Amino acid sequence: MTLPRQHSERHAEKLVRREKIESKNFKNIIRDMGMKVTDQRLLILEALTAGRAHVTAQEVFEVVVEKDASIGFATVYRFLRKLTESGFVNEVRMGGLAARYEMSSQVHHDHLTCTHCGKICEFENHDIEKLQESVAKQFGYQLTGHVLELYGLCRDCQKKST
């Protein structure tokens, strides 16, 4: 079973990762994961930090293949999985659709998605996070992660649909 976003994790670790990502010290990110530095991996990290957030594996591939026409699909999937496992990237899933990825450089947040046009807003609500902890505690669970996705119609799509 895939673990979503780690929650109870030490804050310090997060900060170190964030710094590495923001300084674009990609080589060290890769070495941190105990992996070898390759051009493919550097390109994937570049694509993830440069382009917009919430991209699919397919989209990452399309960006990377421009720079290295011979890169394989499997390499992208493989590395995205590793990045997710190490917490440098987080995986966002909505409905049964393809997973989307974003660098974890930013602070934790959840998503509010327009069901009509797909526009995504990021938000962070401390009260909700707190309440989640308390729910888990009530049931004797040790909370390790959560998925909170809100769905609705954005302002533009509300207008159009009337």
Partner DNA sequence: ATTGATATTGATAATTATTCTCAATTAGTA
Partner DNA sequence: TACTAATTGAGAATAATTATCAATATCAAT
Contact residues: Zn ion, CB under 5 A: 114, 116-117, 119, 154, 157
Taking CB under 8 A as the criterion, the residue among 15, 35, 37, 128 binding a second copy is: 128
Taking CB under 8 A as the criterion, the residue among 36, 74, 142, 162 binding a second copy is: 142
| Alpha-carbon distances, residue 57 vs 30, 89, 95 (angstroms) | 18, 12, 16
Q: Which stretch binds a second copy (CB under 8 A): 18-26, 57-65, 67-75, 131-139?
A: 131-139
Taking CB under 8 A as the criterion, the residue among 99, 105, 106, 108 binding a second copy is: 99
Compute CA 8 distance to the chain's CA centroid, rounded to the nearest angstrom. Answer: 17
Q: Measure the CA–CA gap between 131 and 58, rounded to whole angstroms.
A: 36
Q: Measure the CA–CA gap between 9 and 129, rounded to whole angstroms.
A: 14
Closest to 152 (Cα-Cα) out of 94, 101, 102, 99: 94
What is the binding site for a second copy (CB under 8 A)? 1-4, 93-97, 99, 112, 114-116, 118, 121, 123, 125, 127-128, 131-132, 135-136, 138-155, 158
